[in-house]
A and B are shown apart, each in its own frame.
Chain A
Amino acid sequence: MAWGKRKDLLGIEDLSRDEMESILDTAESFKEVSLREIKKVPTLRGTTIVNLFLEPSTRTRTSFELAGKRLSADVINVSAASSSLLKGESLKDMAWNIEAMNTDILVVRHSAAGAAQFLSRVLGCSVINGGDGAHEHPTQALLDLFSIRERKKQIEGLTVTIIGDIAHSRVALSNILALQKMGAHVRIAGPATMIPLGVASLGVEVTYDMDAAIEGADVIMMLRIQKERQGGHLFPSIREYATHFGLNQRRLRGAKKDLLIMHPGPINRGVEISPEVADGPYSIILDQVTNGVAVRMAILFLYSGAAQ
């Protein structure tokens, strides 16, 4: 297994294909633990994990919390609304205080790109990026790889289309990098206002047409419109967006029979994805959530050894 010790997981950009495969292989074992009647192993007994979530989150925070608890770690959650940031404390001071309580792993979500990297420089404990602004969301990309590999056996050679608000999506960037490192062909689609300038330099295929986006795709990842990160006015109305870029049954007529449809959540039913597609036979949206816990267990396990 190719696992050199690493202190922090900041982005897919830093990981090699071998390292990502090690994480996925390790996650296979942890998936078995989650299927047991007693879903707990004593591996991280005595390890303290702080989930510092300064942006709203249900899935990622719950997933990290369950992952830590199933490994017997002590997990504390801090959210923006209940934090002393409201009293004017800086992020750095807050992080130093959390570390002073002998925290081993800090999982951080922040609205600013680079927040996790900043914290990794000022802290000695392990820092795991749980999403930083429109930059990266590495654990989401890894659980997406795991879910694809589970169904398709291998990722190399697959065509994966990512549809939606590419410009404001950290899931999109992490997935583009991860899928390309694994040897997949990545296609992106969406309204021109949501496709970042110069994105083709990443080596992705760009299309503004939904039929072209779906044709020949083995996997389609739908993205939510990141209203919280847009200035507004990127498209005339929700209804018009749904009409032109929403995924529905009719659009899927030309799709491959073994297509997988994914979504990192939260989904906006009837906007980027119609209910019958979200709940339909191609959808593995809830598998992604199940696998997220196993993948995060693997990440906590592998990164826990490195903290000094």
Chain B
Amino acid sequence: MGELVQELADRIVADNPDLSEVTLVGIRSRGSHLARRIAERILKSVGQTVSVGILDITLYRDDLRARIDQPELVRTEIPGPVEGRNIILVDDVLFTGRTIRAALDGIMDLGRARKIQLAVLVDRGHRELPIRANYTGKYIRTTLDQTVRVRFAEEGDEDGVLVREIRTP
């Protein structure tokens, strides 16, 4: 996983000559762990600090009404204005694309970014919207009967990507 994060960091550095304009915005909660790690790698490789924010997309979901449990809200915290910035949304897994759709709406409500890009650790396919990542750590071919879970040491787990079959009764 360390290698994948390094690769994402390297490609972000290569594609964005002015890193002072970049804000990495992690979609909470695992996206924000990943955003912090990418920022650490960038700092180590090129010595530049990149600002990092957290975006909670709960309020922008299209399935709020359908959910049985009310999801817990977390404060959105983005340092400085979004206006004119080069925003890179960061998430662990890209699947249907609905989370990213919600995140785009969320970011746009905070101001007019100059550019919005997307970085994900894993792309597992099965998109339901016309959305694609600018930076992808790894493509994993999955079926709809599988779940993909990225584990982070920040959450008390061992780092890793887990693909599991959903057991149907």
Any B CB within 8 A of the CB of A42: yes
How far apart are B27's CB and chain A's nearest CB, in angstroms? 15
**Interface range on chain A (Cβ under 8 Å from partner):** 20 to 34
A305 adjacent to B64 (CB under 8 Å): yes
Any A CB within 8 A of the CB of B44: no
The number of residue pairs between A and B whose CB atoms lie closer than 8 Å in the complex comes to 48
**Interface range on chain B (Cβ under 8 Å from partner):** 10 to 19
- One digit per residue, 1 when the CB lies within 8 angstroms of any chain A CB and 0 when it does not, for chain B 116-130 equals 000000000000000
Chain A residues positioned under 8 Å from B92 (CB to CB) = none
Task: From the candidates B70, B76, B105, B111, name the one contacting A42 in the complex (CB within 8 A).
Answer: B105
User: Which of A26-34, A88-96, A172-180 binds B?
Assistant: A26-34
In whole angstroms, what is the CA distance A37 to B105 when docked?
A: 15
Chain B, interface SS category: loop
How far apart are B87's CB and chain A's nearest CB, in angstroms? 16
Chain A residues positioned under 8 Å from B77 (CB to CB) = 32
Residue of A nearest to B67 (CB): A305
A29 adjacent to B60 (CB under 8 Å): no
A28 adjacent to B75 (CB under 8 Å): yes
Interface hub of A5, A28, A29, A36 (most chain B Cβ within 10 A): A29
Chain A residues positioned under 8 Å from B74 (CB to CB) = 29
How far apart are B104's CB and chain A's nearest CB, in angstroms? 12
A38 adjacent to B73 (CB under 8 Å): no
How far apart are A252's CB and chain B's nearest CB, in angstroms? 35
Identify 4 new A-B residue pairs, CB closer than 8 A, beyond the known A32-B76, A301-B70.
Answer: A25-B72, A30-B73, A38-B110, A305-B64
- Chain B residues with CB under 8 Å of chain A are 56, 58-60, 64-65, 67, 69-70, 72-77, 105, 109-111
- Chain A residues with CB under 8 Å of chain B are 1, 3, 5, 25-26, 28-30, 32-33, 36-38, 40-43, 71, 301-302, 305
